[in-house]
Amino acid sequence: MWRRVQSRNEIIGAGWIVRAVVVCLFVGGSCAGYLWQKSQVHQLGQAIRGLEYDLEQLEKGNAVLRQRYSVLASPRELDQRVEQFGLDLRSPAPEQILRIRDSGGRSDVSTVQSLGYSPGRLSRRY
């Protein structure tokens, strides 16, 4: 019995044990690392999904707000508000408008001018 143990010790030395432990640690570490990486990938995937969902919701919310803004800025809505709040606003009479003559053209008349027309009188709006 003693001889067999002694011979085994002769075959498997301390160096081999260390090597085996290192190999086991490496394999175990690799497995753990692989699992950790997979877990991270999964968690990041979930995070990406969550953020994509948030982005989608924000885009939807943005679209809704743009629509609401357009409704609030529409002529009908403004007229209704003016009436609702009794603001008694109305367009000024022509003689109430001070017009300052200028020699310049208007901002977006290039197309019209390129066609050979003189700048018209809608200069303030279009």
Q: Which is nearer to other proteins, 32 or 44 (CB)?
A: 44
Q: HSE-up of 103 (CA within 13 Å, CB side)?
A: 0
Q: Which of 104, 33, 35, 67 is nearest to 123 (CA)?
A: 104
Site for other proteins in 11-50 (CB under 8 A): 41-42, 44-46, 48-49
64 interacts with other proteins by CB under 8 A: yes
Phi, psi of 109 (to 5 degrees): -100, 5
Residues of this chain that bind other proteins (CB under 8 A) = 4, 7, 41-42, 44-46, 48-49, 57, 60, 63-64, 66-67, 70-71, 73-76, 79, 88, 91-99, 111-112, 115, 117-118, 120-126
